Amino acid sequence: MIGTADTDVRYTVERYFELVKEGVIAENDHVELLEGIIVAEPPQDPPHATDTTLVVDALRRAVGARALIRVQMPLVVGRYSVPEPDVAVVPGTVLDYAQAHPDTALLVVEVAASSLPKDRLSKSRIYAAAGIPEYWLVNLRDGCVEVFRMPDGSARQYADRLVVRRGDRLSIVALPDASVAVDDLLLPDLPNSQ
């Protein structure tokens, strides 16, 4: 991690991108800027990578050409945060972001097992503060999707939280005619291989 509590360094979005230009952070480094701290992201294990692909496929079918699906790309959400959500549904088309990363999203999705506490607490606060209308946390550990809606930016939290399970459907708040089956967002129950 670049910047620690000991040095009390808090990076702005501008400085973060300067570090990339200067070569301090390589473009292929797995890091995000969260609340002014540069946080390393571990490599994805096969269940995480596979489930992220399932989410992308389900959202592409549901959303079509009405919005753009971005996978693990920067989302500039405030002065001190540039998360790279597993999946973000953003307004517009790919060419709308040729000069600048998006600063809003219609929906953000994180896929999590070991990162559940960070995604549930820190990232939900960042997304709520940015006014992202909806945040889905695909909880691989418990086989469910935690849904966060109705952001209160000043309180940095979502007023509405619910858990949906297999057999349920989820509508996208910003695109009410688009919905996905929860089963399409979760890995099937696979037998343990040994």
Band (pLDDT 50/70/90 cuts) for residue 4 is very low
Report d(CA 130, CA 124) in Å as an integer: 10
* 156 pLDDT more than 80: yes
Q: Are 2 and 34 in contact (CB under 8 A)?
A: no
pTM score: 0.91
For position 7, what pLDDT does the model report? Answer: 54
For position 193, what pLDDT does the model report? Answer: 36
Q: Are 26 and 17 in contact (CB under 8 A)?
A: no
The 8 Å CB, 24+ separation contacts for 67-73 are: 67/91, 67/92, 67/106, 67/174, 67/175, 68/92, 68/93, 68/94, 68/96, 68/97, 70/97, 70/102, 73/101
User: What is the set of domains in the chain, with CATH numbers?
Assistant: 44-185 (3.90.1570.10)
Band (pLDDT 50/70/90 cuts) for residue 189 is confident
